Amino acid sequence: MKDKTMTQSKISAKGVQVHYADTHAIKDVDVEIADKEVTAFIGPSGCGKSTFLRCINRMNDTIGICRVTGDIRIDGEDIYDPKVDPVQLRAKVGMVFQKPNPFPKSIYDNVAYGPKIHGLARDKDDLDQIVENALRKAALWNEAKDRLHASGTGLSGGQQQRLCIARAIATAPEVLLMDEPCSALDPIATAQVEELIDELRQSYSVVIVTHSMQQAARVSQKTAFFHLGNLVEFGETDKIFTNPEDPRTESYISGRIG
Amino acid sequence: MTHKSLLTVDALTRKRNTAEKRFKAYGLGAIIVAMIALALLLTSVVSTGSSAFKQTYATITVPLPAAKLDKSGTRDLAVMKKVTTIGYASLLRDGMVATVEELGIATDLNAKTIGKMLSKEASATVRNAVLADPDIVGTDMEFKLLMNGRIDGYFKGRVTMESAALDGNTSPEELQLAQALADVGVVDTTFNWAFLTAPDASDQRPEAAGLGVAILGSLYMMIVVLVLALPIGVAASIYLEEFAPKNRWTDIIEVNISNLAAVPSIVYGILGLAIFINFMEFNQSSPLVGGLCLTLMTLPTIIISTRAALKSVPPSIRDAALGVGASKIQAVFHHVLPLAASGILTGTIIGLAQALGETAPLLLIGMVAFVREYPAAYTPDAGLFGEAATALPVQVFNWTQRADPSFVERASGAIITLLIFLLIMNAIAIFLRRKFERRW
Ligand SMILES: Nc1ncnc2c1ncn2[C@@H]1O[C@H](COP(=O)(O)OP(=O)(O)OP(=O)(O)O)[C@@H](O)[C@H]1O
Ligand SMILES: [Mg+2]
């Protein structure tokens, strides 16, 4: 924690435990996520990356059997404090889900929904501008600009995923959680999204779950390696990929487990 | 291993294919049986009931002498009302006899019998016309008047010369006269609007009986059911499905709702009788009480179908909405409900259709009463929908109990009307489902 290069911490989690009924999905995880940085979560399937990500915007609240304990703070405020309204939290912490889930409405309405309910647009032109910017950033504008009023569910899987990214950034969150945002994208769209992530880093803190080691190495400054619900190793991306401390990390990134 | 050709079907595949064929044959058989039953039902109802939509009328000129109808000579309604329908009946008889003589139709029938060929309702028709417009007294007016049920039956093929010979209420001579009058156009069978608008009539005048009060009563009840059951049912479902904690209490409630849907409808009648009539002292036989009973009966159907519709909306849509910072209520009302709308509406309309065809609970709360007066939507002493009325299925039940064979035709006609209403409601359900259907 005394690391000089460490920027100011945006999210700090201590002793986080998550149970799904009898499944112990996250075991005593401590992590510090810095502001204006990209943090990558990597690890084998089922190790709890999505679960931990969902703790940060309290989406786990919606799962009846899910129990979260421990301490998670954003800007020093305990987000599990009874005084915290999860709705307000989620406006601040945007999320792109693992499976693309556009609303069965028009592309425009998908993106405009968040700004509308949060009162971010002053008028129609303003809203149009927000929608356009979000779609541009998500690298969807060129494909979508002529069919803004066509249904979002009529897009291809990869386009839907970018639409969900556009929807998440349209509400101008401070933290963006992305659960495998490029899993359905071709290399060109992936590159565009990675560019976007890099751009977002200027103003937000971004957490990205990915199964691609190259992607983690390319976009993130910090990397967290999860294994069976444990946070095995967390630190500078360069260090994790070149000189991991834990043997499990090493075997995972070299492709021996997972 | 030997090479297996794809061109020969092996034993296992053959077995599978026969099983599949057998299953298809069973299914097809079941559907054919159902279609035959439906076709039989429809033909029998339509063949006996369609004639209810036609009615035989005589267009004759009736003298309205002031000496008889307005003894005071002042057109004072109080005085004029003293002349009853019996007084008018003789005028109608004179009109009929005069018409027959004028046309030079030879008949052995006496004047009294000729007069009776008109419906008992006809004198009431003329009396009402006179009381509505006293100035017509003293003139000769042309009226289109109902013929009696036997004559009407003759033109519809129900009554024949042979059956008339055995019938104390009519005779072949009367039928011959009616036929002669029909040949010159005095007697005519036309579309029977009165069947849809007139109130019920007594045993002696089936030709005058109509569904007006029953249709209005059913309509009032459907309004009550829709206004109460839809919002309550949808709100209850949304609460149970989206907000209620999943614990033992909600499980118990869920089981009870399913049980309520299976409770025989007559039980709701007993409940309605105890609560709405005996305890809350609403008027008996009123559409309000009927509607409340049917609301109780329809609620479980609406709740179950609404919950199913809400369940079928993928959870990822809720996640998506919550993920951009919508509140639970916003997620439900902006995203889940619109997607569930078609299912909810379909369920509601099916529930309404069920309620429309329900008889048993209405019998218990007295809606089987003989109602000659239109119920007013609102009266100060009865409140909204608080006046006695009847309902379509109850009217069917009521008419099938009557002695005169003409009521059989009326009852079938009422069934046809009920079926048409049900068809319309189902068509609306299908239309709404198409309109609101969304893919995701
Ligand atoms: N809704 C749920 N109910 C019960 N158990 C769950 C639920 N969601 C996740 N789990 C369990 O929690 C553990 C972690 O799941 P999680 O989805 O976080 O994995 P993941 O690391 O995101 O995997 P992947 O890379 O495949 O997405 C798994 O064992 C999973 O079975
Ligand atoms: Mg995951």
- Quick one: DSSP state of residue B354? H
A48-83 confidence digits (pLDDT tens):
999 999 999 999 988 888 999 999 999 989 999 999
> Which residue has tokens 């007016």?
B141
Residue A12 CA to ligand 1 center (angstroms) comes to: 22
Taking only Cα atoms into account, the Rg of chain B, rounded to an integer number of angstroms, comes to: 30
Taking only Cα atoms into account, the Rg of chain A, rounded to an integer number of angstroms, comes to: 18
Q: Report chain A residues whose CB lies below 8 A from the CB of B317.
A: 101, 103-104
B242-272 confidence digits (pLDDT tens):
998 888 998 999 999 999 988 999 999 999 9
Alpha-carbon distance of A208 to A178, in angstroms, equals 5
pLDDT at residue number A3: 44
pLDDT band at B321 (very low <50, low <70, confident <90, very high): very high
Yes or no, beta carbons of B324 and A114 under 8 Å apart: yes
Q: Report chain A residues whose CB lies below 8 A from the CB of B316.
A: 97, 99, 101
- What residues have CB less than 8 Å from A150, skipping those under 6 apart? A106, A107
pLDDT band at A257 (very low <50, low <70, confident <90, very high): low
> Which residue has tokens 């109990």?
B401
Domain boundaries, chain A: 3-253
B364-388 confidence digits (pLDDT tens):
888 887 888 888 887 777 778 888 8
* Predicted confidence (pLDDT) at residue A192 exceeds the cutoff of 90: no
pLDDT at residue number A4: 40
Mean pLDDT score, A217-225: 93
pLDDT at residue number B284: 85
User: What is the three-state SS of A5-69?
Assistant: CCCCEEEEEEEEEEEECCEEEEEEEEEEEECCCEEEEECCCCCCHHHHHHHHCCHHHHCCCEEEE
* Predicted confidence (pLDDT) at residue B43 exceeds the cutoff of 70: yes
Query: Which CATH class for the A3-253 domain?
Result: alpha beta
Minimum mean pLDDT among B69-73, B112-116, B134-138: which range? B69-73
* Predicted confidence (pLDDT) at residue B48 exceeds the cutoff of 90: no
* Predicted confidence (pLDDT) at residue B17 exceeds the cutoff of 90: yes
B125-147 confidence digits (pLDDT tens):
999 998 888 888 888 889 999 99
Residue A66 CA to ligand 1 center (angstroms) comes to: 11
Work out the percent of chain B whose per-residue pLDDT is above 90.
50
- Out of A18, A20, A53, give the residue to mutate to test ligand 1, the one with the largest number of ligand atoms within 8 Å of its CB: A20
Give the residue from B45, B43, B34, B47 showing the smallest Cα distance to B396.
B45
Residue A192 CA to ligand 2 center (angstroms) comes to: 22
Q: Report chain B residues whose CB lies below 8 A from the CB of A21.
A: none
B326-333's contacts with Cβ under 8 Å and 24+ in sequence apart are B326/A87, B326/A113, B326/A114, B326/A117, B327/A87, B328/A87, B328/B242, B328/B243, B330/A117, B332/B238, B332/B242
* Predicted confidence (pLDDT) at residue A180 exceeds the cutoff of 70: yes
* Predicted confidence (pLDDT) at residue A6 exceeds the cutoff of 70: no
* A interface with B, Cβ–Cβ below 8 Å: 57, 59, 62, 64, 87-88, 90-92, 94-95, 97, 99, 101-104, 113-114, 117-118, 151, 153, 164, 167-168, 170-171
C-beta of A46 in contact with ligand 1 (< 6 A): yes
pLDDT at residue number B107: 85
- What residues have CB less than 8 Å from A8, skipping those under 6 apart? A34, A35
* Predicted confidence (pLDDT) at residue A1 exceeds the cutoff of 80: no
C-beta of A229 in contact with ligand 1 (< 6 A): no
Query: For B139, phi and psi rounded to 5 degrees?
Result: -110, 175
B51-68 confidence digits (pLDDT tens):
889 999 999 999 888 888
How big is the A-B interface in CB pairs under 8 Å? 70
Query: For A9, phi and psi rounded to 5 degrees?
Result: -80, 130
Asked if B425 contacts B349 with a C-beta cutoff of 8 angstroms, the reply is yes
Neighbours of ion ligand 2 (CB under 5 A): A 50, 98
C-beta of A18 in contact with ligand 1 (< 6 A): no
Residue B422 CA to ligand 2 center (angstroms) comes to: 50
Mean pLDDT score, B6-11: 84
* Predicted confidence (pLDDT) at residue A177 exceeds the cutoff of 90: yes
> Which residue has tokens 């659960």?
A179
* Predicted confidence (pLDDT) at residue B2 exceeds the cutoff of 80: no
Yes or no, beta carbons of A103 and B439 under 8 Å apart: no
Minimum mean pLDDT among A74-88, A154-168, B358-372: which range? B358-372
Structure tokens at B217: 């009563």
Mean pLDDT score, B116-124: 90
pLDDT at residue number B438: 58
pLDDT at residue number B222: 93
Q: Report chain A residues whose CB lies below 8 A from the CB of B437.
A: none
C-beta of A48 in contact with ligand 1 (< 6 A): yes
* Predicted confidence (pLDDT) at residue A121 exceeds the cutoff of 70: yes
pLDDT band at B40 (very low <50, low <70, confident <90, very high): very high
Mean pLDDT score, A245-256: 86
Alpha-carbon distance of A229 to A244, in angstroms, equals 19
* Predicted confidence (pLDDT) at residue B21 exceeds the cutoff of 90: yes
Give the residue from B90, B190, B75 showing the smallest Cα distance to B130.
B75
Residue of A nearest to B246 (CA): A64
- Quick one: DSSP state of residue B208? G
Residue A46 CA to ligand 2 center (angstroms) comes to: 7
Q: pTM of the predicted model, to two decimals?
A: 0.83
Alpha-carbon distance of B242 to B258, in angstroms, equals 18
pLDDT at residue number B429: 85
pLDDT at residue number B351: 92
A4 vs B307: which has the higher pLDDT: B307
Structure tokens at A73: 């703070």
Residue B54: strand pairing partners: B191
* Predicted confidence (pLDDT) at residue B41 exceeds the cutoff of 80: yes
- CB atoms < 10 A from the CB of B98, how many? 16
SS3 of chain B: helix, strand, coil, percent, to 5: 65, 5, 25
What was the ipTM of the complex prediction? 0.89
B7 vs B118: which has the higher pLDDT: B118
